[in-house]
Amino acid sequence: MYAVSNDYLAAVKQQAQVHRLTGTIGSSAFTDENIVSGSFHITNQCTDDGDVMLGAVYTGTLTATFHDMPIRRYNWVNKVITVSFGLLLEDGETWEDVPLGIYTIKEAKHSAEGVTVTAYDNMIKLDKKFDKDQFQTPQKMYGFISTVCTRCGVTLGMTEGQIQAMSNGNTLMGIVGTESNSELNEYGNDIDTYRDLVFWMAQTMACFATINRSGQLVFKSWPTEETAVDEVSESYRLEGAVFDDFTTNYTGIYVTNSKSGNDIYYGYDVETLEAEIETVEGNIRQYNLDLAQNELDYQEGRITEAEYKRRKKALQKKIKQANTRLAWLEEALEKAEQGEDGLFMSLGENPFMQPDGVGSQYPAMRRRVLAAILNISYTPFTCSTVVGVHYDLGDIIQFTGGHATEEGESCCLMSYDYNFDGEYQMQGFGSDPNVPVIRSATAKSANQAEKNAGIALTKAEEGGGGGGVIGSYTVNAYNHLEMLDYTEVT
């Protein structure tokens, strides 16, 4: 969340608000009086619609129709827009402004209403042809990222230490299919632009990449639900929130070997899950002891009523979160004991984590990614609020009241659409871990079988040997692999 004052947080949750837009297009200043009502939108997201993913590199988009601007007809494209949202505080005199980002105009259309522009944040600068000659030497992630930023003219909004602290951020690694090492020539990669490379970088660090409000490239890890930045009550929503009745959690990942085409699974085993359950149960016991101590401190006059209520609310929230986590771990353990896996993420042919890469650190790198995605424990949601422009992608928001549970819903902001004259619409995505076809290891095997059959067909058609059967597969009601149809290939 952007750092705003307490006065701003108080004013933004009032039903009656006074706000403004200010900014510049090139050297020309504008206010909301220069914008056609209802035309100003900013949209962005940090994962695909419908699910959580690692490595997202979405571009923030600004659209608006301007009028009465001192800019000549053919001078709009490639001008830079800077814009801020201002809120009048409760004293009725002081304005507090929140920057909304830096955008470059790539399209301008003239009409009777004015000039309608489409502008993008600095992520578009990464859509530049990838030069593999710059990346043939093994490095740590900060070295790769610094080279990308230099080549694309983008500023990195993080320190070397911050990058090193992320998953695999301090690991010496190479990019298979790019290195000069002759032993890796059989591997390929699908990196065409620097944006493709940033996608794989972010995935390797178990995070997403985005452009911050200052136009800088940043990488953000998925947060835990304990790190909520704000609490939003039912009265703070224009249209109440809609919450799914499940929490998305992941227990495994797949990475595809780019040489063989095989998918390799890595997930949590029985022993690891049992240890995690023991830790969470211990935390719950301690929280309950702390609750009892808080009650005693209040009764004996050692703390005020306000402090007593604050502690009680915080501890009850921790207990709720821990019990949710415990229920998921116990279900995951049951599945693991039966030889099944839970909800997984497919990482594709990640060029940083191939088996024969630098130092053969593939298993260790996978474990770090797997450990990081355990932070993902969110309720998918949609919500429209009065104003939410101070929130950032990846923020955890605690919703209370209305259709939320009594303790509240922990939701992660993954997509937003801001309309200056309307609402701030936000969404969080996720898959239901209880849907068998999603979490079934057999379903993954079906996909692999179909892929292998396709490889056999290609080899046969090219006269390179092989052959076999190509078919389509499904998983039946008994969770068994079932072939729907097939064609013999020779």
pLDDT digits (tens, 9 = 90+) for 465-490: 444 444 444 443 333 344 444 444 44
Strand bridging mode 230-232 / 396-399: parallel
pLDDT digits (tens, 9 = 90+) for 3-28: 999 999 888 887 778 999 999 999 99
CB atoms within 10 A of CB 485: 8
* pLDDT above 60 (res 230): yes
- 305 with 298: CB under 8 angstroms? yes
Sequence-separated (6 or more) residues with CB below 8 Å from residue 236: 13, 385, 386
* pLDDT above 60 (res 210): yes
Q: Cα separations (Å) of 205 from 54, 94, 208, 215?
A: 9, 42, 8, 21
* pLDDT above 60 (res 460): no
- Amino acid found at 228: A
User: Closest by alpha carbon to 224, among 275, 151, 136, 283?
Assistant: 283
pLDDT digits (tens, 9 = 90+) for 322-346: 887 788 788 778 877 776 666 788 8
User: Closest by alpha carbon to 204, among 413, 377, 354?
Assistant: 354
Q: 411 by DSSP, 3-state: which?
A: strand
DSSP type of residue 307: H
pLDDT digits (tens, 9 = 90+) for 135-194: 888 899 999 999 999 999 999 999 999 999 999 999 998 888 775 554 545 556 778 999
Q: 124 by DSSP, 3-state: which?
A: helix
- 449 with 457: CB under 8 angstroms? no
DSSP type of residue 224: P
How far is it, in rounded angstroms, from Cα 148 to Cα 162? 17
For 59, the token pair is: 């571009």
List the beta bridge partners of residue 102: 82
Distance of CA 216 to the CA centre of its chain: 17
Average of per-residue pLDDT values in the chain: 83
Q: Rounded to the nearest 5°, which phi and psi values hold at 286?
A: -65, -40
The pLDDT confidence band at residue 287, using thresholds 50, 70 and 90, is very high
Q: Tell me what pLDDT residue 295 has.
A: 94
Any idea of the CA torsion for 192, 193, 199, 204, to the nearest 10 degrees?
70
Q: Angle of helix 141-152 relative to helix 194-204, nearest 10 degrees?
A: 160
DSSP state letters, 11-30? HHTSSS--EEEEEEETTEEE
pLDDT digits (tens, 9 = 90+) for 81-120: 999 999 999 988 999 999 999 999 999 999 999 999 999 9
* pLDDT above 70 (res 438): no
How far is it, in rounded angstroms, from Cα 192 to Cα 125? 14
The pLDDT confidence band at residue 248, using thresholds 50, 70 and 90, is confident
